[in-house]
């Protein structure tokens, strides 16, 4: 029997241990889908203070790394994904890493440099102590994007890496001093210094250059990012990779590949969802949605009207300001709208203000509230997703499973997962009039019950499971492994 391909996946969120957005979902659900098709996956994530009490007793070992001026201890904790045999490792950090604000510019780069260095040292620990030798390292987003560089420059492991970009706008930019802390020598950093202002490192950019392959989370986003970042520092890194693909025998292999995310129907399924008021499925959705809506509106003191929701991070990307402008031009008394989210304080304030102006129709919940999110998916008629850009987006897929129709910007993964007029409404992104028109169209559909029913059934039937995408990742890993075995391994200073 051929041994299963071994993949170590790493990122900074992992549902249900800690999650603030879609990456947490993906880190939890993709490994399960990969295991189902015969890949041996384990996951390694940072050990945050927030989960300390949950995993304290699961410490299985430690090792030391040379970080900054001294030797630092890294504690290893282990836990299984709920109801599976998939192992998640948690690596402790010094200074203790707090799991907040990890997306902003210049934030936390030292802590994630520590984590990335720890992962590079954890790989030999794994093979020595538990006889598990990963063949591909799968990094996700900037927080783990130093790993390909560290593996090349600081270890003698010639391990291939895949970097998946879940959001190109979060790049982990900060002082180049982080390289001194990592003890990466000057002669090894030529690319870094040429790419950005001499005082700055762009961690995602380093990942883009040094990873064996780069992917992103939808085919449309993969196309959109080529050429649309001309004025951003990340442009240099993307074009270097593109140029390499033209120059090298690797050809298309160096291009950024788009693989659409899926969702986990063990988590997102109204038939088994314990958070919602009434469980339902495709056979009794009419009654199920009606009852869920009734109870949702009751707890929020709203009248029975067409009900829209917004769920997500309150960030510029999500286009909440566009929605607020659209609301100001509309007859808000015709419908309900519920906002659930947290993030940038000015956006939070603007959403609280609009709810104050229309207290009988608009409610705002400023919180990260898993249970309320489930209740909104089940009890709303429509979900509004006015994103300026959306690499993939999971909320539209979840909403569709719950029979809630998405009204979404025509961009990235939203475009790849919603069929306009069939199972949702797509509108030109960044346009206040187009968004108002789309909301009005939804209200018309709502009135014509038959049309609404057809669209809801279409939405609920759509298959967003990981099955197809997991196969694409498997192929990609195999491809990376094949190409790597032909390369001359880079062996540098340990």
Which residues are at the interface with ligand ADP (CB under 6 A)? Answer: 21-23, 25, 311-313, 340-342, 368-370, 373, 392-395
Residue 373 or 418 having the CB closest to ligand ADP:
373
Residue 236 or 377 having the CB closest to ligand ADP:
377
Residue 161 or 342 having the CB closest to ligand ADP:
342
DSSP state of 50: G
In DSSP notation, 309-354 reads EEES-BSGGGTHHHHHHHHHTS-GGGSEEEEEE-B-HHHHHHHHHH
Residue 371 or 463 having the CB closest to ligand ADP:
371
Q: Which residue is nearest to ligand ADP (CB)?
A: 22
Residue 312 or 319 having the CB closest to ligand ADP:
312
Assess contact for 320 and 350: CB atoms under 8 A. yes
> C-beta of 259: minimal distance to ligand ADP in Å?
14
Residue 117 or 263 having the CB closest to ligand ADP:
263
In DSSP notation, 391-444 reads SS-SHHHHHHHTT-EEEEESSHHHHHH--BTTTBEEE-TT-HHHHHHHHHHHHH
Q: For residue 229, count CB atoms less than 10 angstroms from its CB and return exposed for 0-12, middle for 13-18, buried for 19 or more.
A: middle
Residue 140 or 342 having the CB closest to ligand ADP:
342
Beta bridge partners of 43: 9, 88
Residue 148 or 413 having the CB closest to ligand ADP:
413
Q: Which two tokens stand for residue 261?
A: 């995310």
Query: 5-17 as b/e, with b when 16 or more CB fall inside 10 Å?
Result: bbbbbbbbbbbeb
> C-beta of 367: minimal distance to ligand ADP in Å?
6
| Residue 409 backbone dihedrals phi, psi, to 5 degrees | -65, 145
> C-beta of 430: minimal distance to ligand ADP in Å?
17
Assess contact for 407 and 421: CB atoms under 8 A. no
Q: Which two tokens stand for residue 390?
A: 């959306």
> C-beta of 343: minimal distance to ligand ADP in Å?
8
Assess contact for 451 and 391: CB atoms under 8 A. no
> C-beta of 6: minimal distance to ligand ADP in Å?
27
Query: 151-172 as b/e, with b when 16 or more CB fall inside 10 Å?
Result: bbbbbebebbbbbbbbbbbbbb
> C-beta of 113: minimal distance to ligand ADP in Å?
23
> C-beta of 218: minimal distance to ligand ADP in Å?
10
> C-beta of 84: minimal distance to ligand ADP in Å?
19
């Amino acid at each position: 029997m051929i041994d299963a391909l071994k993949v170590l996946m790493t990122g900074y969120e992992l549902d249900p241990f800690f999650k603030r957005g879609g990456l947490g979902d993906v880190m939890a659900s993709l490994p399960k889908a990969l295991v189902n098709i015969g890949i041996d996956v384990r996951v390694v994530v940072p050990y945050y203070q927030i989960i300390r009490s949950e995993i304290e007793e699961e410490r299985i070992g430690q090792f030391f790394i040379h970080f900054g001026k001294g030797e630092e201890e890294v504690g290893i904790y282990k836990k299984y994904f709920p109801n599976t045999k998939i192992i998640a490792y948690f690596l402790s950090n010094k200074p203790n890493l707090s799991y907040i604000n990890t997306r902003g510019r210049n934030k936390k780069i030292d802590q994630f440099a520590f984590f990335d260095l720890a992962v590079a040292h954890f790989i030999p620990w794994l093979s020595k102590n538990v006889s598990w030798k990963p063949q591909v390292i799968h990094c996700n987003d900037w927080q783990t994007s130093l790993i390909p560089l560290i593996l090349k420059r600081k270890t003698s492991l010639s391990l291939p890496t895949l970097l998946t970009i879940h959001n190109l706008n979060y790049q982990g930019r900060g002082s180049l001093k982080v390289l001194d802390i990592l003890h990466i020598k000057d002669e090894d950093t030529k690319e870094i210094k040429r790419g950005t202002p001499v005082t700055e490192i762009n961690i995602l950019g380093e990942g883009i250059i040094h990873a064996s392959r780069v992917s992103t989370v939808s085919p449309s986003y993969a196309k959109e990012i080529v050429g649309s970042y001309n004025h951003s520092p990340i442009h240099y890194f993307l074009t270097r990779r593109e140029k390499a693909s033209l120059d090298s025998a690797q050809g298309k292999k160096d291009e950024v590949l788009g693989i659409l995310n899926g969702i986990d129907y063990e988590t997102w399924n109204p038939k088994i969802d314990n958070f919602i008021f009434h469980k339902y499925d495709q056979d009794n959705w009419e009654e199920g949605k009606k009852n869920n809506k009734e109870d949702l509106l009751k707890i929020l003191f709203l009248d029975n009207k067409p009900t829209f929701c917004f769920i997500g991070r309150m960030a510029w990307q999500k286009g909440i300001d566009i929605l607020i402008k659209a609301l100001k031009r509309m007859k808000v008394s015709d419908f309900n709208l519920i906002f659930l989210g947290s993030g940038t304080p000015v956006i939070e304030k603007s959403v609280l203000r609009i709810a104050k102006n229309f207290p009988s129709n608009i409610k705002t919940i400023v919180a990260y509230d898993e249970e309320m999110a489930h209740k909104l998916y089940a009890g709303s008629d429509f979900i509004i997703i006015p994103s300026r850009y959306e690499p993939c987006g999971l909320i539209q897929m979840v909403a569709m499973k719950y029979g809630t129709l998405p009204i979404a910007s025509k961009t990235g993964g939203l475009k790849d997962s919603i069929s306009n007029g069939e199972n949702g409404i797509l509108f030109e992104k960044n346009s206040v009039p187009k968004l108002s028109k789309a909301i009005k169209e939804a209200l018309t559909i709502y009135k014509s019950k038959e049309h609404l029913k057809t669209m809801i059934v279409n939405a609920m039937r759509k298959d967003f499971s990981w099955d197809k995408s997991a196969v694409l990742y498997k192929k990609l890993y195999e491809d990376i492994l094949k190409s790597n075995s032909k390369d001359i391994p880079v062996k540098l200073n340990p």
